[in-house]
C-alpha cells in the first residue's frame, strides 16, 4: 500500500501559484447558478446498477435504488443546497484508490493504473451536473471529438478515421496519421487551467465556486 501511495502521489502535479489570464468570453451564455429537479434525481437513483460497489461512505447503489422514493426528495434538497452555496461536500470528495494492473512486471508500481472508487452519491450528483453542462458546451466542442461524449467512443473515432482514409485513398491522396499519448494526463493537468477555461466559457459566480 505504501509503495502505491508513494508512486501515485509522486505523479500528481501540485497547483502552481503562477497567475493565469482569464480567457475572453467566446460564448453568449452565462452559467452562474442552477438547480436539479426531483424527477432528475429520482431518475438517476432508479437507473443505478445494484451490482456496482460503493465508496468510503459504504452507501451501496442497491440501497439508494431500493429506497429511491424516500431518498430522492432529501437528496434533491441537499444537492440544491450545495449548488446554492457553491460548496461541494467534503464527504463526497473522498474515495478509495484501487491499483489496476495494466501490463508488464506486477512488482513495478508504474505498471498500475489508479482507479478511484467514489461515493455513489457523488457520482449521482456529478451526473446531474454533467447533464446540464453538456448541452451548454455543445457549441464549443469540435465535431471531431469522440471522448467523453454520449454516443461517442473509440469505435466511432476509428470509424470516422476509416471513412476519411478510404475517401482520401480513393482519390489517390496521401494519408498521414499522428497518434499522441499523453502520459498521466489526468493526474498532471492543472485544475487552475481547467477552472480558467470554464470561466472563459461562461461558468461564473456560484457555479464556478462550486467547481473549485
pLDDT digit string, tens, across residues 90-117: 999 998 888 888 888 877 777 777 788 8
Please give the full DSSP string across the chain, using - where no structure is assigned: -HHHHHHHHHHSPPPP-S--PPPPP-SS--B------HHHHHHHHHT--TTS---TT---HHHHHHTHHHHHHHHHHHHHHHHHHT---GGGT-EEEEEEE-SS-TT-GGGEEEEEEE-HHHHHHHHHHHHHHHHHHGGGS-TT--TTSTT--HHHHHHHHHHHHHHHHHTT----------TTHHHHS-HHHHHHHHHHTTB-HHHHHHH-
Residue 185 pLDDT exceeds 80 = no
**pLDDT confidence of residue 33:** 86
Average pLDDT over residues 3-25: 64
Q: Which three cell numbers stand for residue 131?
A: 447533464
Lookup: cell for 148: 467523453
What would the mean pLDDT of 178-199 be, rounded to a whole number? Answer: 82
Q: Where does the pLDDT of residue 187 fall: very low under 50, low under 70, confident under 90, or very high at 90 and above?
A: confident
Range of the domain at 48: 2-211
At 106-157, the pLDDT tens digits run: 777 777 777 888 999 999 999 999 999 888 888 888 888 888 888 889 999 9
Rounded mean pLDDT of 186-202? 83
Q: Mean per-residue pLDDT for 168-182? A: 90
Per the model's pLDDT, the better-predicted residue between 14 and 142 turns out to be 142
State how many domains the chain has: 1
Question: How high is the mean pLDDT of the chain?
Answer: 86
Amino acid at each position: 500500500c505504501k509503495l502505491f501511495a508513494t508512486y501515485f502521489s509522486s505523479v500528481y502535479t501540485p497547483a502552481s501559484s503562477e497567475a493565469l489570464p482569464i480567457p475572453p468570453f467566446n460564448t453568449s451564455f452565462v452559467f452562474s447558478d442552477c438547480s436539479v429537479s426531483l424527477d432528475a434525481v429520482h431518475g438517476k437513483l432508479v437507473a443505478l446498477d445494484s451490482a456496482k460497489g460503493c465508496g468510503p461512505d459504504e452507501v451501496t447503489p442497491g440501497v439508494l435504488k431500493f429506497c429511491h422514493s424516500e431518498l430522492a426528495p432529501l437528496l434533491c434538497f441537499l444537492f440544491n443546497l450545495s449548488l446554492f452555496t457553491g460548496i461541494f461536500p467534503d464527504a463526497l470528495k473522498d474515495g478509495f484508490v484501487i491499483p489496476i494492473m495494466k501490463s508488464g512486471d506486477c512488482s513495478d508500481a508504474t505498471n498500475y493504473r489508479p482507479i478511484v472508487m467514489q461515493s455513489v452519491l457523488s457520482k449521482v450528483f456529478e451526473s446531474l451536473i454533467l447533464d446540464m453542462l453538456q448541452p451548454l458546451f455543445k457549441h464549443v466542442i469540435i465535431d471531431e471529438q469522440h471522448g467523453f461524449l454520449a454516443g461517442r467512443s473509440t469505435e466511432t473515432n476509428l470509424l470516422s478515421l476509416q471513412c476519411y482514409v478510404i475517401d482520401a485513398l480513393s482519390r489517390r491522396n496521401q494519408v498521414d496519421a499522428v497518434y499522441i499519448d499523453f502520459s498521466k494526463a489526468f493526474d498532471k493537468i492543472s485544475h487552475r487551467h481547467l477552472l480558467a477555461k470554464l470561466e472563459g466559457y461562461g461558468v461564473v459566480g456560484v457555479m464556478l465556486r462550486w467547481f473549485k
